[in-house]
Amino acid sequence: MELKSMVEKRVKEAENRLKDFRISREKLASYIDHTILKPDATEKIIERVAREALEYGFKSVCVNPSRVVMVREILKDSNVETCSVVGFPLGAHTTYMKARETEEAVKNGATEIDMVINIGWLKDGDYERVKEDIKAVVDAAQGNVVKVIIETCYLTFEEKVRATELVVDAGAHFVKTSTGFGTHGATPFDVALLSIVSDGKIKVKAAGGIRTYKDAALMILSGADRIGASRSIDIIKGIK
C-alpha cells in the first residue's frame, strides 16, 4: 500500500474510533505541553499558566526563553517539565545561534527544547544542512528532550516525509507539526503521516489549533504522543 493510502486509512480508522475513545483526565493531561508563547504574555500570565500545569498535572509548561528561570522555580519539586522554544517561530536563526540558545535554556533549567527547522534550507533541498542544524541543537541539549518543529503548513507531502526522516537521522526525540504561528496547525493527516514515517523511532507532537477534547483525542488516535496547546484546561474539561 502506498504511503498516502496508509495515512488516509489511519485517519479514517481514528475518526471511526473517536466515539468509543475513553481516557482519564490524568492520562490526557500527561500528553499535554501547556503552552504560552504570546509576545505580550506578562509575568502574571506566565505564573498562572505554570500553576495551572501543577494543578492539572500537564506534562510540561512551554514558554519563551526569557521565562524559563521563572517557570523552573515555580515547577521545582514537581513532575512537570520546563520546556523552552529555540529558533522560534521562523527557524531562520543561524545554527550557531540555535545551539547557544539551547545551551542557555538548559543552563536556566529547561528540560525540554522545541526547535524550529530552517524551512528554507529544506525547500532548497539542502538536507545535510538541515540535519546538522537539528543535530547541533540535540548536542547542545545535553541529553534533554528535543522536539523538532517542521511547520507542516509550509511543506509538500514529500517535504514532510523528508523532514521527518532528517529529524530521525539527527537524533532528536520528537517530530512536531507546527509552531502555532503558521497558516494552520496540526491536522490528523499530518500527525498520521509523521507517525508512520518515523515508525516508532521517535515520537510525534501535534500542536497548533488543538482547542477541544475532540481535537486532542483525534490527534492521539492518529498517532500523536504529545499535544501542544494553550487551551489545555478546555481540552481536559471536555471529557464527559
Residue 114 annotated as catalytic: yes
What would the grid cell of residue 165 be? 526522516
Nearest to 81 by CA among 45, 113, 42, 127: 113
Choose the catalytic residue: 98, 131, 176, 203. Answer: 176
Cα distances (Å, whole numbers) of residue 201 to 128, 169, 189: 19, 10, 19
Choose the catalytic residue: 33, 59, 98, 114. Answer: 114
Cell 503521516 sits on residue: 193
Residue 205 annotated as catalytic: yes
Beta strands in 20-124 (DSSP E): 32-36, 60-63, 81-86, 112-116
Choose the catalytic residue: 59, 131, 203, 205. Answer: 205
Q: Is residue 86 packed enough to be buried (19+ CB in 10 Å), middle (13-18) or exposed (0-12)? A: buried
**Distance of alpha carbon 153 from alpha carbon 87, whole angstroms:** 17
Residues with a catalytic annotation lie at 114, 176, 205
